[in-house]
C-alpha cells in the first residue's frame, strides 16, 4: 500500500489532507515540522512526501534540501503544498531544490489527487525523473533561501501592518465608544476613525427613520459642508430599495461588499472616484439604527476580514448610540423637570403675590368699609337727633335723608353678602329666555329720577325685534343696575345711554347690552384692575360717590356664571362704555 508522509504545523490543514488521502485508500503518516519529518522518514521511508513550507524548527525548503542530500530519501518524490510562499520565485526555489511539484493551498481535492496520481504514473513509466538538485554551494543556496525568507518577511510585515490597523479600529471601538457623546459627534468620530485607520477613501452614515421607513444621510467623511448638504438631498433610500444598496443592506441586516461600483447598476454614481464599497448594518437589540458605508478608490478593496472588523465596530457603534440616545433622553427629561420646577415656582410666586395683593385689598376694604359705613351712620344718627329736637317743618327733609342713607347702607351690606354668596357657590343661576329690552326698560324707569337729580340725560335705544337672551333675569338685572348706577355716579355732566345690539365672534352669535356715559373715562392703569374685588379707581376718588369696589367684581362673577362676558371701552375725559355679552335663548339662536 502506498504510504504518504504529510508535513504541516497546522493541525487543521494536516487533518484535512490526511482525511482526503485516507479516503482514497492511501496510508498516511504525519509530521509537524521538517525535523520531525526527517526523523520519521529515516525510520520508515514513505512513498511520497507532501510538505508545507512555513513551519517552526525546520521549514519546508530546508527539509527538501536535507531530503535530497539523504541517499535513501532523495529518490522519494517531494511535493510542496503551501499557502504562504506562493509566488513564482518561491516555486522556482522549491523546484530547484528537487521537488517534483509545487501546489498552492488550498487546492481542489480532485486536483490534488489527480496531481499525486500523475506523479506516480509518470515516475512509473519513466516520464518523470526526480530531479537531482545541483550540488550547490551552501552560500549560494543560503542566498536564495534568504531572499525568499526576506520577501516573505516583507509580506508578513505588510500583513501585520494591516492587522495592526484593524486592531487600532477595534481598540478605538472598544475604548472610545464607551464615553457618552452627543449622537452626531459619536458618528463623526466613528467614521473618521474608519477612514483614517483603515485607509478608506470615504465613509457615510445613514440613519434609519422607523416612522417613514427611510434612510437619511446623517454624516459623511471627506466631504465639504456644501457637498454633504447636497448629498443629503440626493441620498434618501427606502427600506428594501435596491437602488443605492443602503435600503437593501438595512432590509437584509447583512453586510455587503461591492467589488466594482461601475459594473453594478444598483450603485448611485455621484462620486466617480469610488470603485468599491462595503456596507454594514448598525443594529441594536434587533432594532435597525442605520447603515455605515465605506468606500475605496480601488476595486476589490474590501475583504471578509474588513467586513468582520467593521461589523464589530458597527455593533459597538450601535451600543454607543443607544447609550447616547438614553443619555440625551435623560438630559432632556432633566431639563423638562427643571423647566417644570421653574414654571411651578413662578406660578407659586404669582399666587403669593396675588394673595398678598388680595390681602392688601382686604385691609383696604376694611378701612373703606369703616369709612363708608360710618358716613351714613353718622348722618342717620344726626337726622334722628334732629327728628327729636329739630323743627317739625323740617321733618320731611330729615326723613328723606334717613331713607337715603339707610338705602345706601343696605346696598353696601348687600354687595358684601352678594360676593360672599357667589364665592360660596350658594347663588343659584336660573337660566331662562329673557326679554332684555323689557328688562332694560324697567331699569331705566327705576333710575330716571336719579339721573335727573344729577342733571344728566338718560336715554335708551333698544334694537327692534331683539331676540330673547338666555339669562337669569334677576342676576342680569343686578349687573345692569350696577353698570347704570356707576355711570350715573361717576358722570357729572352730559348723560347716559343704554342700548342693545348683536355681534358675531368666531361664528358665535352674541346679544349685547351696553351702558355708555360721558363721564371721566377710565385710565389704562384702572382698566387693568376694574374687575378686581375692592378695587376703587380714580373716578371714585374724584367723585363723592360711595361704594365698596365690589360692584364690577360681582358683575364679572355673574357673567362668568352665564358663560358670557363683560367688557369695557373707554377714552379718558370722553366717557366709558360697559358691555355685557349673552347667548341667545336656544329657540332663537341664529344659524
Ligand atoms: P365702586 O363703584 O363701588 O367703586 P365698582 O366695582 O363698581 O366699585 O367699580 C370699580 C371702579 O371702577 C370704580 O371705583 C371706578 O373707579 C371705576 N368705574 C366704574 N364705572 C365707571 C364709569 N362708568 N366711569 C368711570 N369709572 C368707572
Q: What are the angstrom distances between the C-alpha of 118 and each of 226, 319, 334?
A: 66, 57, 79
Residue 586: pLDDT band by 50, 70, 90 thresholds? Answer: confident
Question: Which grid cell is 13?
Answer: 490543514
Tell me what pLDDT residue 138 has.
Answer: 75
Residue 590: pLDDT band by 50, 70, 90 thresholds? Answer: very low
Report which secondary-structure segment, H or E, holds 554.
Answer: helix 551-561
SS3 363: helix
Which residue is closest in CA terms to ligand 1's atom 20? 486
| Residue 376 in contact with ligand 1 by CB distance below 6 A | no
Q: Distance (Å, rounded) from C-alpha 477 to C-alpha 498?
A: 13
Which residue is closest in CA terms to ligand 1's atom 4? 549
Between 192 and 256, the more confident residue is 256
Q: Distance (Å, rounded) from C-alpha 235 to C-alpha 318?
A: 22
Closest by CA to 299, choosing from 264, 343, 270, 327, is 264
Closest by CA to 474, choosing from 438, 512, 439, is 439
DSSP H helices in 177-243: 183-198, 225-234
| Residue 530 in contact with ligand 1 by CB distance below 6 A | yes
Tell me what pLDDT residue 548 has.
Answer: 79
Q: Which atom of ligand 1 is closest in space to residue 517's alpha carbon? A: 23
Between 587 and 149, the more confident residue is 149
DSSP 260-298: -GGG-TTS--S-TT--EEEEEEEEETTEEEEEEEEEESS
Tell me what pLDDT residue 64 has.
Answer: 94
Tell me what pLDDT residue 180 has.
Answer: 66
| Residue 519 in contact with ligand 1 by CB distance below 6 A | yes
Closest by CA to 91, choosing from 148, 38, 49, is 148
Tell me what pLDDT residue 588 has.
Answer: 45
CATH architecture of the domain covering 418-588: 2-Layer Sandwich (3.30)
Whether the predicted pLDDT of 176 surpasses 80: no
Provide the CA 142 distance to its chain's centre, in angstroms: 68
Give yes or no for a contact between 70 and 91, defined as CB atoms under 8 angstroms apart. Answer: no
| Residue 575 in contact with ligand 1 by CB distance below 6 A | no
Give yes or no for a contact between 383 and 398, defined as CB atoms under 8 angstroms apart. Answer: yes
Closest by CA to 320, choosing from 189, 192, 167, is 189
> What pTM, to 2 d.p., does this model score?
0.43
Question: 545: CA distance to ligand 1 center in Å?
Answer: 10
Mean pLDDT of 512-520: 97
SS3 4: strand
Beta strands in 285-407 (DSSP E): 287-296
Q: 3-state secondary structure string, 459-523?
A: EEECCCCCCCEEECHHHHHHHHHHHHHHHHHHCCCCEEEEEEEEEEECCEEEEEEEEEECCCCCC
Whether the predicted pLDDT of 424 surpasses 80: no
Tell me what pLDDT residue 585 has.
Answer: 93
SS3 553: helix
Question: Which grid cell is 137?
Answer: 554551494
Give me the percent of the chain exceeding a pLDDT of 90: 61
Report which secondary-structure segment, H or E, holds 25.
Answer: none
For 314, counting Cβ atoms within 10 Å of its Cβ (0-12 exposed, 13-18 middle, 19+ buried), the class is buried
Give yes or no for a contact between 364 and 356, defined as CB atoms under 8 angstroms apart. Answer: no
Whether the predicted pLDDT of 425 surpasses 50: yes
Give yes or no for a contact between 51 and 64, defined as CB atoms under 8 angstroms apart. Answer: yes
Q: Which atom of ligand 1 is closest in space to residue 549's alpha carbon? A: 8
Whether the predicted pLDDT of 360 surpasses 90: no
Mean pLDDT over the full length of the chain? 90
Question: 447: CA distance to ligand 1 center in Å?
Answer: 17
Burial profile 413-442: b = 16 or more Cβ within 10 angstroms, e = fewer: eebeebbeebeeeebeeebeebebbebbee
pLDDT digits (tens, 9 = 90+) for 2-21: 999 999 999 988 999 999 99
| Residue 255 in contact with ligand 1 by CB distance below 6 A | no
pLDDT digits (tens, 9 = 90+) for 50-75: 999 988 899 999 999 999 999 899 99
| Residue 487 in contact with ligand 1 by CB distance below 6 A | yes
Best residue for ligand 1 mutational test, from 496, 551, 567, 578 (most atoms within 8 Å of Cβ): 551
SS3 79: strand
Place of cell 509545487: 102
| Residue 365 in contact with ligand 1 by CB distance below 6 A | no
| Residue 32 in contact with ligand 1 by CB distance below 6 A | no
Q: Where are the domains of the chain?
A: 3-135, 173-329, 418-588
| Residue 468 in contact with ligand 1 by CB distance below 6 A | no
pLDDT digits (tens, 9 = 90+) for 435-473: 999 999 999 998 999 999 999 999 999 998 999 999 999
| Residue 517 in contact with ligand 1 by CB distance below 6 A | yes
Q: 3-state secondary structure string, 92-130?
A: HHHHHCCCCEEEECCCCHHHHHHHHHHHHHHHHCCCCCC
Q: What are the angstrom distances between the C-alpha of 228 and each of 75, 193, 215, 232, 261?
A: 69, 18, 15, 6, 20
Give yes or no for a contact between 294 and 310, defined as CB atoms under 8 angstroms apart. Answer: yes
Tell me what pLDDT residue 591 has.
Answer: 43
| Residue 522 in contact with ligand 1 by CB distance below 6 A | yes
Closest by CA to 85, choosing from 7, 154, 12, is 154
Report which secondary-structure segment, H or E, holds 422.
Answer: helix 395-424
Domain 3-135 has CATH 3.40.50.2300: yes
Whether the predicted pLDDT of 417 surpasses 90: no
Tell me what pLDDT residue 41 has.
Answer: 96
Whether the predicted pLDDT of 85 surpasses 60: yes
| Residue 551 in contact with ligand 1 by CB distance below 6 A | yes
Residue 589: pLDDT band by 50, 70, 90 thresholds? Answer: very low
Burial profile 366-397: b = 16 or more Cβ within 10 angstroms, e = fewer: eebeeebeeebeebbeebeebeeeeeeeeeee
Fold (topology level) of 173-329 = Beta-Lactamase (3.30.450)
Question: 556: CA distance to ligand 1 center in Å?
Answer: 13
pLDDT digits (tens, 9 = 90+) for 311-354: 988 988 898 888 888 888 888 999 999 999 999 999 999 999 98
| Residue 547 in contact with ligand 1 by CB distance below 6 A | yes
Parallel/antiparallel/unpaired status of strands 432-434 and 469-471: antiparallel
Q: Distance (Å, rounded) from C-alpha 390 to C-alpha 406?
A: 20
Mean pLDDT of 205-220: 95
pLDDT digits (tens, 9 = 90+) for 113-125: 999 999 999 999 9
Amino acid at each position: 500500500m502506498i504510504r504518504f508522509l504529510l508535513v504541516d504545523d497546522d493541525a487543521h490543514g494536516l487533518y484535512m489532507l490526511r482525511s482526503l488521502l485516507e479516503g482514497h485508500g492511501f496510508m498516511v503518516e504525519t509530521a509537524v515540522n521538517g525535523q520531525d519529518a526527517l526523523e520519521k522518514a529515516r525510520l520508515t521511508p514513505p512513498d511520497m512526501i507532501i510538505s508545507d513550507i512555513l513551519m517552526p524548527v525546520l521549514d519546508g525548503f530546508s527539509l527538501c534540501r536535507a531530503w535530497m542530500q539523504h541517499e535513501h530519501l532523495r529518490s522519494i518524490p517531494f511535493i510542496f503544498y503551501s499557502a504562504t510562499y506562493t509566488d513564482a520565485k518561491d516555486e522556482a526555489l522549491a523546484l530547484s531544490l528537487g521537488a517534483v511539484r509545487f501546489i498552492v493551498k488550498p487546492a481542489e481535492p480532485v486536483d490534488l489527487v489527480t496531481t499525486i496520481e500523475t506523479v506516480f504514473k509518470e515516475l512509473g513509466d519513466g516520464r518523470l525523473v526526480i530531479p537531482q538538485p545541483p550540488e550547490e554551494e551552501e552560500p549560494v543556496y543560503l542566498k536564495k533561501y534568504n531572499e525568499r525568507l526576506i520577501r516573505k518577511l516583507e509580506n508578513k510585515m505588510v500583513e501585520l501592518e494591516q492587522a495592526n490597523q484593524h486592531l487600532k479600529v477595534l481598540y478605538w471601538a472598544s475604548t472610545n465608544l464607551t464615553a457618552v457623546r452627543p449622537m452626531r459627534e459619536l458618528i463623526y468620530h466613528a467614521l473618521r476613525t474608519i477612514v483614517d485607520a483603515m485607509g478608506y477613501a470615504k465613509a457615510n452614515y445613514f440613519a434609519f427613520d422607523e416612522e417613514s421607513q427611510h434612510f437619511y444621510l446623517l454624516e459623511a467623511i471627506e466631504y465639504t459642508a456644501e457637498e454633504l448638504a447636497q448629498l443629503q438631498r440626493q441620498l434618501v433610500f427606502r427600506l428594501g430599495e435596491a437602488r443605492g444598496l443602503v435600503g437593501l443592506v438595512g432590509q437584509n441586516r447583512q453586510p455587503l461588499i461591492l467589488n466594482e461600483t461601475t459594473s453594478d447598476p444598483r450603485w448611485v454614481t455621484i462620486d466617480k472616484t469610488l470603485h468599491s464599497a462595503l456596507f454594514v448594518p448598525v443594529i441594536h437589540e434587533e432594532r435597525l439604527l442605520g447603515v455605515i458605508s465605506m468606500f475605496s478608490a480601488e476595486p476589490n478593496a474590501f475583504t471578509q476580514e474588513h467586513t468582520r472588523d467593521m461589523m464589530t465596530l458597527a455593533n459597538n457603534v450601535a451600543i454607543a448610540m443607544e447609550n447616547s440616545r438614553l443619555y440625551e433622553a435623560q438630559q432632556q427629561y432633566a431639563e423638562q423637570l427643571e423647566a417644570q420646577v421653574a414654571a411651578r415656582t413662578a406660578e407659586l410666586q404669582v399666587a403669593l403675590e396675588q394673595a398678598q395683593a388680595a390681602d392688601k385689598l382686604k385691609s383696604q376694604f376694611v378701612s373703606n368699609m369703616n369709612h363708608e359705613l360710618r358716613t351714613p351712620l353718622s348722618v342717620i344718627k344726626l337726622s334722628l337727633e334732629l327728628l327729636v329736637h329739630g323743627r317739625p317743618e323740617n321733618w320731611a327733609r330729615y326723613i328723606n335723608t334717613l331713607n337715603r342713607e339707610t338705602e345706601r347702607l343696605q346696598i353696601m351690606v348687600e354687595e358684601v353678602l352678594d360676593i360672599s354668596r357667589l364665592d360660596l357657590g350658594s347663588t343659584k343661576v336660573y337660566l331662562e329666555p329673557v326679554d332684555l329690552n323689557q328688562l332694560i326698560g324697567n331699569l331705566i324707569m327705576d333710575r330716571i329720577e336719579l339721573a335727573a337729580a344729577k342733571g344728566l340725560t338718560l336715554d335708551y335705544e333698544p334694537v327692534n325685534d331683539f331676540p330673547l337672551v338666555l339669562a337669569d333675569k334677576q342676576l342680569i338685572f343686578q349687573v345692569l343696575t350696577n353698570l347704570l348706577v356707576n355711570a350715573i355716579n361717576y358722570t357729572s355732566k352730559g348723560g347716559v345711554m343704554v342700548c342693545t345690539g348683536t355681534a358675531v365672534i368666531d361664528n358665535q352669535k352674541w346679544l349685547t347690552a351696553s351702558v355708555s356715559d360721558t363721564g371721566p373715562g377710565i385710565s389704562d392703569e384702572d382698566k387693568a384692575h376694574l374687575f378686581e374685588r375692592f378695587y376703587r379707581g380714580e373716578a371714585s376718588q374724584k367723585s363723592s360717590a360711595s361704594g365698596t369696589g365690589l360692584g364690577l367684581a360681582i358683575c364679572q362673577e355673574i357673567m362668568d356664571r352665564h358663560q358670557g362676558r363683560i367688557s369695557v371701552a373707554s377714552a379718558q375725559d370722553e366717557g366709558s362704555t360697559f358691555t355685557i355679552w349673552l347667548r341667545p335663548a336656544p329657540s332663537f339662536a341664529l344659524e
